[in-house]
């Protein structure tokens, strides 16, 4: 797969002949710093809210949420995609969640090379207990300060960025998301 801009960064780091750096103009800098600050402030705040109600990280909660939404066992590789993580990071979290009895892993009956993950009843009870806490936190810290147009813009911009960074991202395959956000049906190649 052609990495485009990533290849340019590799060339520059290697000291090869690369074009001059295009420094950020004020509009670009504001957009970039706003995005970084939002991520750096939002994720720890959401995690702190979750941890007030149970010893679960935002990533562990995301693992539980993705499994609960899917219902059926998911291959670990698909769960890694749905949690935006590496298999290594997911395996570490899965071990912790399995020790708590919230998920279980098993070998696929179809392909012994594939490990499946699924929620247990105890895990489903935990995610049902934590979901209202998490949704209230997401609303209070993000959604309630935005109007309908802001939400449409975030969905459109997020879809465009994901399409650029990872054109085969799972959000482009999920009918529930593509029905609500038609821009997720086909990532913009620009």
pLDDT of residue 171: 84
Answer whether CATH 3.30.413.10 is correct for domain 47-145. Answer: no
Q: Residue 20 pLDDT more than 60?
A: yes
Query: What are the beta bridge partners of residue 71?
Result: none
Note the pLDDT of residue 2.
45
Q: What does the pLDDT read at residue 180?
A: 60
Contact 114, 107 (CB under 8 A): yes
Q: SS3 for 172?
A: helix
CATH 1.10.10.10 residue ranges of the chain are 47-145
Q: What is the pLDDT of residue 170?
A: 86
Report the SS3 class of residue 115.
strand
pLDDT of 190 > 80? The answer is no
- The pLDDT of residue 143 is above 80: yes
For residue 48, give both structure tokens: 């702190």
Contact status, residue 118 vs residue 98, Cβ threshold 8 Å: no
Mean pLDDT, residues 84-99: 96
Neighbours of 174 (CB within 10 A): 16
| Mean pLDDT, all residues of the chain | 87
- Give the pLDDT mean for 16-31: 90
The rounded distance, in Å, linking the Cα atoms of 148 and 112 is: 46
- pLDDT value at 31 more than 70: yes
pLDDT on residue 14: 56
Tally Cβ neighbours within 10 Å of residue 156: 15
């Amino acid at each position: 797969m052609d990495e485009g801009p990533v290849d340019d960064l590799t060339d520059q780091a290697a000291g090869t002949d690369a074009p001059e750096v295009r420094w950020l103009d004020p509009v670009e800098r504001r957009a970039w710093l706003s995005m970084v600050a939002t991520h750096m402030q939002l994720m720890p705040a959401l995690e702190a809210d979750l941890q007030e109600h149970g010893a679960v990280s935002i990533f562990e909660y995301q693992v539980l949420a993705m499994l609960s939404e899917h219902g059926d066992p998911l291959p670990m590789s698909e769960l890694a995609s749905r949690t935006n993580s590496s298999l290594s990071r997911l395996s570490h979290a899965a071990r912790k969640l399995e020790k708590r009895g919230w998920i279980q892993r098993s070998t696929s009956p179809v392909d012994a090379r594939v490990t499946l993950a699924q929620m247990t009843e105890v895990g489903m009870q935990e995610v049902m207990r934590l979901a209202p806490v998490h949704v209230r936190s997401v609303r209070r810290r993000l959604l309630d300060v935005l109007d309908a147009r802001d939400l449409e813009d975030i969905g459109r911009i997020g879809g465009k960025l994901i399409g650029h960074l990872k054109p085969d991202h799972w959000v482009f395959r999920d009918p529930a998301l593509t029905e609500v956000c038609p821009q997720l049906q086909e990532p913009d190649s620009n």
